[in-house]
Amino acid sequence: MIIKTDTEREGIRQAGKLLGEVLRDVAAHATVGTSTLELNDRAETLIRAGGAEPVFLNYVADGARTPYPATLCTSVNDEVVHGIPLSRTILKDGDLVSLDCGLSLDGFIADSAVSVIVGKRGDEADAVLLEGTKKALAAGIAAARAGNTTGDIGHAIEEVAKRYELTVVRDLGGHGTGKLLHEAPYIANFGAKGSGERLVDGMVLALEPIFTHGSGAIKLSGDGWTYLMRDHARAAHFEHTIIIGAHGAEIVTK
Ligand code: MF3
Ligand code: CO
């Protein structure tokens, strides 16, 4: 299950390619005056046009009271992850929005997220937050090679947070993926070098650093899905699905 065959890797590559295209399109449409529900509908149309199916829609998570009701997670400003797209959530100049999506193509799954600043009036501190979180994902991917461990990935991610003076949201992390949305192993966005589980050729992982300017503590909102920063600081989130190979990781959701 954890080690994917060549056929499975190829299926996951195809799923990732389509998801990369979907997210690029949706991110380009995250403009002032657009509702998060419009972005969701756009993602769903593109996924189905590509012969795939959304995997977040109706997803039943451990402990959640209700299935997730949408194709895309849209988390605006102090919403961290799993924000639910709504017609009344209209994007404004300077909003920071995370767009997270997963799809299944011929039974193979990819999961990816990007964060963007809407419009032109971006705050300088938010630009740093985006850059640091994105660099942390790249550092995590660089550490994701056979022989290293999940702790090496977490350590590499945490080092970038420190360098940018940002806070890791420690209650959320990455995971195995490919056949199910969430598979083992869990990958914390912090940790000690050499700790955790050993990475092997053929593992498929979704790495997803989530950073903030504030304390890092989160709470679940009344909708049962959206995680909010307790201190209402903004949060950023980037995620790629990768395949661990003998000579490093391959990003499938570019
Ligand atoms: N990338 C997110 C995660 O791995 C997406 C899950 S949304 C859900 O947790 F609705 F499917 F749960
Ligand atoms: Co994920």
Q: What is the pTM of this model?
A: 0.98
pLDDT tens by residue, 131-141: 999 999 999 99
Binned at pLDDT 50, 70 and 90, residue 63 comes out as confident
Residues 6+ apart with CB under 8 A from 72: 26, 36, 39, 40, 43, 44, 56, 85, 99, 100, 101
Binned at pLDDT 50, 70 and 90, residue 100 comes out as very high
Is-contact 97 36, C-beta < 8 A? yes
Sheet of 235-237: strands edge to edge? 167-168, 210-212, 235-237
Q: Does residue 121 surpass a pLDDT of 90?
A: no
Ion ligand 2 residue ranges (Cβ < 5 Å): 111, 206
Q: Does residue 246 surpass a pLDDT of 90?
A: no
- Residue 33 Cα distances to 235, 245, 253, angstroms: 21, 43, 28
The neighbouring-strand residues paired with 233 are none
Q: Does residue 238 surpass a pLDDT of 80?
A: yes
Rounded to the nearest 10°, the torsion over CA 185, 188, 193, 199 is 20
Please work out whether the CB of residue 111 comes within 6 Å of at least one atom of ligand 1: yes
Please work out whether the CB of residue 210 comes within 6 Å of at least one atom of ligand 1: no
CA atoms of 106 and 163, how far apart (whole Å): 41
Q: What is residue 1's predicted lDDT score, i.e. its pLDDT?
A: 77
Q: How far is the CA of 181 from the centre of ligand 1 (A)?
A: 8
Q: Two tokens at 53?
A: 């199916």
Q: Whose CA is nearest to atom 2 of ligand 1?
A: 100
Q: Which atom of ligand 1 is nearest to the CA of 68?
A: 10
Q: Which ligand number lies closest to the CA of residue 204?
A: 2
- The burial class, CB within 10 Å (0-12 / 13-18 / 19+), for 120 is exposed
Please work out whether the CB of residue 56 comes within 6 Å of at least one atom of ligand 1: yes
Residues 6+ apart with CB under 8 A from 194: 149, 151, 152
Q: What is residue 131's predicted lDDT score, i.e. its pLDDT?
A: 98
Choice from 58, 60, 75, 82 to test ligand 1 binding pocket (greatest atom count within 8 A of CB): 82
Choice from 23, 60, 181 to test ligand 1 binding pocket (greatest atom count within 8 A of CB): 181
Binned at pLDDT 50, 70 and 90, residue 62 comes out as confident
Please work out whether the CB of residue 238 comes within 6 Å of at least one atom of ligand 1: no
Q: What is residue 128's predicted lDDT score, i.e. its pLDDT?
A: 98
Domains plus CATH for the chain?
Answer: 6-251 (3.90.230.10)
What share of the chain in percent tops pLDDT 70? 100
